[in-house]
Structure 1
Amino acid sequence: MTEHQHVTANADLTELRRSLDVGLTRMDGRLALLLHRGEQTEKDLEDLETRVSGIERGRWPLPGVAALTALCALAVSVWQAIGHY
């Protein structure tokens, strides 16, 4: 291998190493961004679950309200039927 070929090979290896370092740095940045987005998504999901739980606790128990309404309607019907005779 001549001196010129040796210098050219070293320059090529240096350029290849620089390209590899740049690529790895770019990938590290993208991975860090994905990690950050994943953590933010987890936080948003936990907040959403907390809000949904609060809404579920605060809502009216519809089956109970329906049963109570039916009982009241039955009581009024019986009262009217007894009151008219």
Structure 2
Amino acid sequence: MPDSGVYIAPAQMYQELRSLSDGLTRVETKLDGIGQGLTELGKDVADHETRIRALEKARWPLPSLAAVVSVGALGLTLWQAAGR
């Protein structure tokens, strides 16, 4: 009884191997692009974080300054009212 397996010609096998290799190359290229994009995105996030922290630090004196001005105005009003 002869072997009833499937015969694939070497040229056909080579063609499939080349096709798989080309597909793998395309996937690697896309992954490299995604990795580079993620690196740039990480830098943008770090930059935004730094800028937000700077804005938060610069904002804290405003409520304190408003409270000091309010207390000063109240004190001045009471002083003027007591002086009359």
TM-score between both structures, scaled by the size of structure 2: 0.79
Identity of aligned residues (%): 38
Runs of 4+ in 1 over 3 A off after TM superposition: none
C-alpha separation in 2, matches of 1:52 and 1:27: 37
Equivalent AA in structure 2 for residue 17 of structure 1: L
Q: CA deviation at 1:61?
A: 2.0
How many equivalent residue pairs? 80
Match of 1:9 in 2: 9
Matches within 5 A, 1:72-83: 72-83=72-83
What are structure 1's unaligned runs of at least 5 residues? 1-5
What are structure 2's unaligned runs of at least 5 residues? 1-6
Structural RMSD (CA): 2.1
Q: Deviations over 1:26-59 (max 9, x none)?
A: 0000000000000111011111111222222223
More helix by share: 1
